[in-house]
Chain A
């Protein structure tokens, strides 16, 4: 191989390594920012309290990576971090988001998840599933007599689905850059 060819190969390798680093950084930074958003922003804009950004980020990464195992681990990690930032027992959000990660990744292997309509439907469905399953776990495992409001959850699911579309588009752009 010529000297020029070797240099070109070296440059390509460096660029790829840098891209992987950036991707890993995004992989950690985006969920962190989502959790930070949930912790900090509703203090000043109470109406944004309905936004479940960690869940949307979990759905996004599970859909784009198309690996159920990655989806499971990602969902579990985000859920456990969320649990740690509250007084509830660790594992509640962990289990729910683990399942969401797994199912979202499984769906992405069968359907074309680039379609915005499908993204909206999946976000809606997974939000509803997330809230309902959390309620079921809360009652069944911990015996808390919490109330599940289907109408309110329906509306919040719609709003989260509406936010998911631009958010996923933004994250797609970010991914393309890295």
Chain B
């Protein structure tokens, strides 16, 4: 045996190493556990170096670029171009400062405005996995970051933390094929699942062909995945078409537009309302209702029968008369004889008691959303509270004044 192992020593070592790794893989798959210690060691070794590299790059790259640019220019005209170079350098520096300040200000403003508790992080490297989109950020468990926390920018969601180490974290971007998040469309409130495609765009799945989604419609996080708080922008639908297994919706993720440098990690998320779509003009001008052709008598009020104008109303009255003629109480015993003829005029059709009030006036904004699901009603309430919603005085202005009902009329029944 020993001589056999010695003879095939190389092959034996190969088999042992491969078998050990296979066992390690099997153990990870079966127990869903991770070899965390190994990862922590590796990341803790690599990320400090990338952090230093990043700092050096930030501080020197602009200087070197300008230097190399100046070398070529000096050959043509040293005096003039030195001056231009100085100005350029100053300009570059100020622009860089300005753009950094703008970016940081935007991030800070978003951080202050957002009810969720967030922490700013800088991207310091890429993940090494093939066919995946991952980045390393310079915040880890020592800063309060945990696995499965959402990562966002003011423009939209960026990804989620898949591994948190003491000084760094690994973030899976929304474009990664294994990424998934619950989303809802802004206009039609269509729920779906955001999936990465491995390149620039993402796809929304789990949407039926019958559901309506428009090209250009915004999608927001739905909050149902318990990772992303509700109400964060995700992106705009760029392609919408019917497919064999449901609607095919491709989306351009708004959080990844224009490159990534700084991001926010959501430490404690707070669900927000999905903003209402902006309406071009919600004010409707309405004229006063026309005067009645038959002015009501000025005498005492005449009580009109409650029957309406419709066939159903007339049928109901006929059945009532048949029941009354036979002393039948509906709902008790068998049915009455509907074949007997009951003498007597059917009650006259009710005349409109007063000039019909304009229909839209009855469909005020408050009533339209009564049938909406709870969360929509909540959003409506929130939207009204939001500064973008129409002021109350403005809403009242849109509703025309109700004319005084004629003295003989019956007040119209409201819903």
- Point out the residues of chain A lying under 8 angstroms from B129, CB to CB: 86-88
Contacts of A72 in B (CB 8 A): 10, 13-14, 17
Shortest Cβ gap from A86 to chain B (Å): 3
* Contact string against B for A residues 47-85, beta-carbon threshold 8 Å, 1 for contact and 0 otherwise: 000000000000000000000110011001000111111
Partner of A98, one of B18, B25, B50: B18
Q: Does A119 sit at the interface, judged by CB under 8 A?
A: no
Complex contact A86–B46 (CB within 8 A): no
Given contacts A36-B50, A91-B25, contact A76 B10 (CB under 8 A): no
In the complex with contacts A39-B136, A43-B123, A68-B13, A85-B25 CB distance below 8 A: no
A167 CA to B172 CA, complexed, in Å: 31
Q: Which residues B123-153 have CB closer than 8 A to chain A?
A: 123-132, 134-136
Chain A residues whose CB sits within 8 angstroms of the CB of B126 once the complex forms: 38-40, 42-43
Which of B35-43, B90-98, B244-252 lies at the interface with chain A?
B35-43
- Compute how far the CA of A4 lies from the CA of B135 in the bound complex, rounded to whole angstroms: 60
Q: Which residue of A lies closest to B21 (CB)?
A: A91
Instruction: Please state if B18 and A85 are interface contacts (CB–CB under 8 Å).
Output: no
A69 CA to B13 CA, complexed, in Å: 6
B53 at the interface (CB under 8 A from A): yes
Complex CA gap A147/B130 in Å reads: 11
- Which residues of chain A are within 8 angstroms of B135 by Cβ–Cβ distance? 43
* Contact (Cβ within 8 A) B14 A68: yes
- The reply to whether A76 and B21 contact each other, CB–CB distance below 8 Å, is yes
Q: How far is the CB of B39 from chain A (nearest CB, A)?
A: 5
Question: Could you tell me how many residues of chain A have their Cβ less than 8 Å away from some Cβ of chain B?
Answer: 39
Q: Which residues of B contact A40 (CB under 8 A)?
A: 50, 53-54, 124-126
Question: Could you give, for residues 19-39 of chain A, a 1 whenever the CB lies within 8 Å of some chain B CB and a 0 otherwise?
Answer: 000000000000010011011
CA distance A167 to B131 in the complex (A): 25
Chain B residues whose C-beta falls within 8 Å of the C-beta of A35 in the assembled complex: 46, 128
CB-defined contacts of A99 to chain B, threshold 8 Å: 14, 18
Q: Which residues of B contact A44 (CB under 8 A)?
A: 57
Partner of B28, one of A90, A106, A131, A146: A90
- The reply to whether the CB of B70 lies closer than 8 angstroms to some CB of chain A is no
**Does A134 count as interface, using CB distance less than 8 angstroms?**
yes
Residues of A close to B34: CB separation below 8 A: 90
CB-CB nearest in chain B for A41: B126
Distance from B229 Cβ to chain A, minimum over Cβ atoms (Å): 22
Docked-complex contact B125 and A39, CB < 8 angstroms:
yes
Which residues of B lie under 8 Å from residue A68 when comparing CB positions? 10, 13-14
- Residues of the B chain whose Cβ atoms lie less than 8 Å from the Cβ of A89: 25, 28-29
Task: Give min CB distance, A6 to chain B, whole Å.
Answer: 39
Contact residues in A for B124 (Cβ distance below 8 Å): 40
A157 within 8 A of B: no
CB distance from B299 to the nearest CB of A (A): 83
With an 8 A cutoff between CB atoms, is B170 at the interface? yes
Contact, CB under 8 Å: B10 / A85: no
Assembled-state Cα–Cα distance A93/B374 (Å) = 49
Q: For the complex, is A141 an interface residue (Cβ under 8 Å from B)?
A: yes
Provide the bound-state CA to CA distance between A73 and B39, in Å. 18
Given A39-B125, A85-B42, A87-B170: A134 in contact with B162 (beta carbons within 8 A): no
- Indicate if B87 sits at the interface (CB-CB under 8 A): no
Q: Closest chain B residue to A145 by CB distance?
A: B177
Closest residue on chain B to residue A82 by CB atoms: B128
Q: Which of B9, B21, B128 contacts A86 (CB 8 A)?
A: B128
> Contact between B128 and A39 (Cβ–Cβ < 8 Å)?
yes
> Would A87 and B172 count as touching, CB distance under 8 A?
yes
User: Is B25 a contact of A141 with CB atoms below 8 Å?
Assistant: yes
Contacts of B63 in A (CB 8 A): none
Residues of B within 8 A of A88 (CB): 129, 132
Residue from A42, A98, A99 having most chain B Cβ neighbours under 10 A? A98
Interface residue? A161 (CB, 8 A): no
A95 touches B21 (CB 8 A): yes
Cα distance A23–B48 in the bound complex, in angstroms: 24
A94 contact set on B, CB distance < 8 A? 21
Of chain A, the residue at the smallest CB distance from B260 is: A43
Q: Which of A39, A69, A90 contacts B24 (CB 8 A)?
A: A90
Q: Is the CB of B136 within 8 A of A142?
A: no
Interface residues of B (CB under 8 A from A): 9-10, 13-14, 17-18, 21-22, 24-25, 28-29, 34-35, 38-39, 41-43, 45-46, 49-50, 53-54, 57, 123-132, 134-136, 162-163, 170, 172, 177
Closest 9 CB pairs of A and B: A86-B129, A84-B42, A68-B10, A91-B21, A91-B25, A39-B125, A87-B162, A86-B127, A84-B39
| 12 CB-based A-B contacts, threshold 8 Å | A39-B128, A43-B126, A68-B14, A73-B13, A73-B17, A84-B39, A85-B136, A86-B134, A90-B28, A91-B21, A141-B22, A141-B29
Given contacts A40-B125, A82-B128, 10 further A-B contacts (CB under 8 A): A36-B46, A38-B126, A68-B13, A72-B17, A83-B128, A84-B35, A85-B39, A85-B42, A90-B34, A99-B14
A residues within 8 Å of B by Cβ? Answer: 32, 35-36, 38-40, 42-44, 68-69, 72-73, 76, 80-95, 98-99, 102, 106, 131, 134, 141-142, 146
